């Protein structure tokens, strides 16, 4: 998929006006999920926007209780009903657990795609070996969404995305705000007369095949996150960030 460098992560957003504002600011990739319990909010924001549906990439994710073979289509249809859409552009398997079985879940998701309820199928929070198995059942892996930020990232998942040519969609690029206290990030931000948030987003999007979906609510932060992708870090600065001691992930299994 050809995704913009910065999209909008919507977990925790409960006001449709935020979605509307994001679209007005220039966001064209909107990411939600069943477990966020805000698909209706996202749908209302899309419906109120001046930007046409065809110009937006809308993604949602099937939660672990909607991954049984007989539950995939009803779960997808329920998401579409909440979103007020006939189809989404990208439908993810949110996590490979719960009712997930690659032999039955993935063919059911492929059937949903063939029925026109989604244009593309993506995966989220998969391990490299699980991606390999998934490739045996899917026409393509259109995107893989994972936690990816200066304090936690998986080189093996980046390598797989680059080797197979799909986008790695980085969620939580600001590490839940922890990058604001990371000395290396602060120092690089001061060098560029910018913010730690901008440096973190610029670092994430500096990699081939990586895009990101930070959450923001105010117009100022929404605009700043979009602009951060234009910040150019030096190779030395990228290496300094790569050398930061990695911590535990924010959203483990």
Catalytic residues: 36
C-alpha pair distances (Å), 166 with each of 136, 138, 140, 141, 201: 16, 13, 9, 7, 19
Q: Take residue 200 and report the two structure tokens written for it.
A: 């973190």
Rounded Cα–Cα distance for residues 241 and 189 (Å): 12
Do 26 and 19 contact (CB within 8 A), yes or no? Answer: no
**Comparing C-alpha atoms, which of 78, 75, 55, 79 is closest to residue 66?**
75
Do 93 and 63 contact (CB within 8 A), yes or no? Answer: no
H/E element, 94: none
Rounded Cα–Cα distance for residues 17 and 26 (Å): 14
Rounded Cα–Cα distance for residues 131 and 128 (Å): 5
Question: What is the number of alpha carbons within 13 Å of residue 124 lying toward its C-beta?
Answer: 24
Rounded Cα–Cα distance for residues 107 and 137 (Å): 6
């Amino acid at each position: 998929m050809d995704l913009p460098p910065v999209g909008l992560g919507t977990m925790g957003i409960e006001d449709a006006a935020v979605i509307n504002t994001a679209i007005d600011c220039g966001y064209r990739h909107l990411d939600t999920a069943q477990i966020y319990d805000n698909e209706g909010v996202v749908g209302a924001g899309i419906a109120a926007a001046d930007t046409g549906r065809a110009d937006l990439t809308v993604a949602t994710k099937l939660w672990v209780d909607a991954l049984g073979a007989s539950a995939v289509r009803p779960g997808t249809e329920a998401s579409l009903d909440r979103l007020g859409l006939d189809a989404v552009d990208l439908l993810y398997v949110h996590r490979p657990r719960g009712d997930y079985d690659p032999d039955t879940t993935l063919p059911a998701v492929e059937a949903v795609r063939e029925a026109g309820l989604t244009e593309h199928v993506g995966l989220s929070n998969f391990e490299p070996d699980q991606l390999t198995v998934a490739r045996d059942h899917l026409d393509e892996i259109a995107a893989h969404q994972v936690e990816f930020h200066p304090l936690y990232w998986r080189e093996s998942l980046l390598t797989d995305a680059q080797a197979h040519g799909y986008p790695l969609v980085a969620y939580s690029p600001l590490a839940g705000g922890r990058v604001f206290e990371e000395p290396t990030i602060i120092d690089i931000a001061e060098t560029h007369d910018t913010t730690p948030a901008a440096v973190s987003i610029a670092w994430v999007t500096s990699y081939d095949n990586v895009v990101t979906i930070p959450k923001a609510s105010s117009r100022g932060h929404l605009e700043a996150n979009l602009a951060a992708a234009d910040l150019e870090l030096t190779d030395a600065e990228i290496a300094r960030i790569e050398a930061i001691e990695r911590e535990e992930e924010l959203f483990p299994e």
